[in-house]
Amino acid sequence: MNGSEHRTLVLGGARSGKSAHAEGLLPREGAATYVATARRDPRDEEWNRRIADHVARRPANWKTVEAPRPDDLIDLLDNARAADPPILVDDLATWLTGALDDAGAWERDTSALTTVRGQRDELTRASESCSARLVLVSAEVGLGVVPESRAGRLFRDELGALNAGLAEVCDSVLLLVAGLPLRLR
């Protein structure tokens, strides 16, 4: 990592190693704030195991903040100071899923989509103005397959727009493929 990189976006497909790589961008011996965007579901044991695996690999000196609601993350970034420990947000695909759920946007209701797009723009603005070192993790979708369902196409389109907006404001953008980082910027 270059010392001048204040904001980094780490993209990758499912199981690409993007989260582990993003974690490796921050010093393990120092403090960090890990922002988890996933929503817990007590009925989903497999999902809860995945969350536990992520927690287990983090250094004990990292603080975890759960931010499952769209405004939770935006507020956290808006209130970060330059002297704060680095912030790692994992991940923005689950953040977007929550935003789409909360707004009831899956059926492409115009007012619901306006709400989600406003939150997406606010997240991009908050990321750009965040004073603390920031590492964002997001899924890269849409590498050629057109989803069969309307909801799948909506998610692909909205996540693609979110990733593109964040890439514009980040100093560094990485794409993880088969565990290997490719520097895009």
The catalytic residue positions are 54
> Any binding-site annotation on 157?
no
> Any binding-site annotation on 165?
no
Contact call for residues 183 and 1 (beta carbons, < 8 A): no
For residue 82, what are the contacts with CB-CB under 8 A and spacing of at least 6? 131, 132
> Any binding-site annotation on 17?
yes
> Any binding-site annotation on 36?
yes
Strand order in the sheet with 180-183: 62-66, 32-36, 87-90, 134-139, 7-12, 172-177, 180-183
Where do the DSSP E strands lie in the chain? 7-12, 32-36, 62-66, 87-90, 134-139, 172-177, 180-183
> Any binding-site annotation on 37?
yes
Structure tokens at 138: 């997001």
> Any binding-site annotation on 12?
yes
Q: Which residues contribute to the annotated binding site? A: 12-19, 36-38, 66, 90
Q: Which residues contribute to the annotated binding site for GTP? A: 12-19, 36-38, 66, 90
